[in-house]
Structure 1
Amino acid sequence: MAILEVMVVGSTTRRPLRADARRNYERIVVAAEETFTAQGTDASLEEIARRAGVGSATLHRHFPSRRSLLEVVFRDRAEALCSRAREHARGSDPGTALFSWLRDFNAYAATSRGLVGSLLRDGRDADLLEEDDGCAAMITAAADELLQRARRAGTVRAGVRAEDLLALVGAVSLVTEEDDDGTRAGRLLDIAIAGVRSHPCEGGTALPESS
């Protein structure tokens, strides 16, 4: 997981952290990911500090508010997904790159459903997912770049949009929320991918336009 060497809290850019402070910062972010995922965005900050092995004062020194901690957790995961998209694009043919990345995103959705779901249900801080320069925009752009390459290679059906693919993964995550090992989520995604692929016998049949 990539951890920021330079922290941005609000509009203030801080100096690079000392080694001990950087370790504390990294431990807090890891503990926050685990705790928010398991318990939702209302999880106790004291519990996060305990898991990280730091005091509450240390946590608040790095993250003055719950919002500032959530921003780092979401952006870190979004940036990791975007990095995976670039890796797939460099190392695989366009179709394989797109579908492999969708499986990465499916795994992310499965492990983050508590975190994402609590934002969507409660509405608090939901703009972390929706703002123009936020995590959703980053992930959509990464998906669209892979999709455009796959479309030019003729490996996906015409009319498929990046937003459609992300919505499919979101739907799979929702209906498999109670599953533990992700097997059903992977199977459902494979079914969805089969419907998105371009098959020679279909003669490039396009999806119907939405009204």
Structure 2
Amino acid sequence: MKAIACGILLCTAALLVPTTPASSLEVNQGSVPAQGSISDRVTTALLSRGLTFEELPAKFDLGAVPAAHAKTLRVQQVSWDVVRRLIQIRLGCESAGQCMPALIQARVPEGREASVRAKLTEGVRDSVAHTSHLRRTPILVQAGKPATLLWEREGVRLTTQVMCLRSGRIGDQVAVRIRERKRLLQAQVVGAGMVVVF
């Protein structure tokens, strides 16, 4: 009889231990901001390129990535910007026309620039050596042809038509002119007929 009473007591105690219900877990997972999932994808991409946790940027500026498009964006390219000395991560859509591509830029921690630069540029050199039989990346904007310029600041996105003054491939810096104002800007090629200013 004592054994049965103890068994009942243990079962009752186990039922009283607070547990997290399955629905609560789903809500928590669903409430994680979409930008956090982009941050996770970017971190994974950088780690796969050989960066250590100590070499990862302290933060990624995701303010220009619209929350509505966050779930469909994937890391397409990780590169080192030799001029500005920072990491560039190009995000693209899973399928064409699904969303607007985005470019994230991030600075590396103090004292880690040389090792990060070596890892990212070495990966590019190795990739070029192993795929030398493949064609060069296509020209996505043509000199003298119109393109769509995307301007992003603190979550605000504006687009306008510009005239390209130089042809460029993905990631290239090209000079563009805003038609209405005759203003010249340096922009980065992020897609076919599309450039972005940061």
TM-score when scaled to structure 2? 0.23
More RCO (CA 8 Å, sep 6+): 1
Q: Counting strand residues as a fraction of each chain, which structure ranks higher?
A: 2
Rg (Cα) greater in structure: 2
Q: Counting helix residues as a fraction of each chain, which structure ranks higher?
A: 1
TM-score when scaled to structure 1? 0.22
